[in-house]
């Protein structure tokens, strides 16, 4: 594991969350605000209404509701298994003393990835479009 890797989930296949400002972006799946995985609750410092803690708490509520009610979203989350996912707010070893590790929406996604996401009964799985930094 290099100095910029934040969290790696074991098992097959491995999913990794990285800070894209401090890591090679090649092949990294974006989970930032501009994607279906992004946190819609902007921080005050970015023109929004939330502290970091409030933003992540609101995202957790939004994410849990979406996982429970949106089969396509569940499949998109499941499709992250084995991917290197990246955002800009995830802590790095350099910044880990600045705030708790769970104050990033990427951590919420990784928590969901720790166990398989049920996609409900039957249904055919549609291809998931991933947005990467290099493509």
* pLDDT the model gives residue 96: 56
119 in any annotated domain? no
> HSE on the CB side for 78, CA within 13 Å?
15
- What is the number of domains present in the chain? 1
pLDDT band per the 50, 70, 90 thresholds, residue 48: very high
pLDDT tens-digit map of 8-34: 444 557 888 888 887 778 889 999 888
Residues forming a β-bridge with 9: 15
120 in any annotated domain? no
Its domain, for residue 88, covers 5-113
DSSP string, 87-124: ESSS--TTTTTSS-TT-SHHHHHHHHHTSPPP--SS-P
81 in any annotated domain? yes
pLDDT tens-digit map of 65-75: 999 999 999 99
* pLDDT the model gives residue 114: 65
| 3 three-class SS | coil
78 in any annotated domain? yes
Whether residue 91 is predicted with pLDDT greater than 90 in this model: the reply is no
DSSP string, 10-67: -SSS-EEEEEGGGS--TTPEE-STTSTTS--S-BGGGTSSB-HHHHHHHHHHHHHHHH
123 in any annotated domain? no
């Amino acid at each position: 594991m290099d100095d910029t890797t934040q969290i790696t989930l074991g098992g097959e296949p491995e999913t990794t969350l990285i800070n894209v400002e401090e890591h090679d972006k090649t092949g990294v799946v974006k989970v930032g605000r501009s994607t279906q995985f992004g946190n819609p609750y902007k921080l005050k410092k970015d023109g929004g209404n939330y502290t970091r803690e409030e933003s992540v708490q609101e995202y957790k509520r939004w994410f849990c509701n979406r996982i429970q009610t949106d089969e396509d979203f569940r499949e998109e989350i499941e499709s992250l298994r084995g991917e290197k996912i990246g955002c800009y707010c995830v802590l790095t070893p350099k910044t880990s003393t600045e705030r708790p590790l769970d104050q990033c929406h990427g951590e919420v996604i990784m928590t969901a990835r720790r166990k398989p996401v049920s996609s409900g009964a039957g249904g055919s799985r549609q291809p998931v479009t991933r947005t990467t930094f290099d493509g």
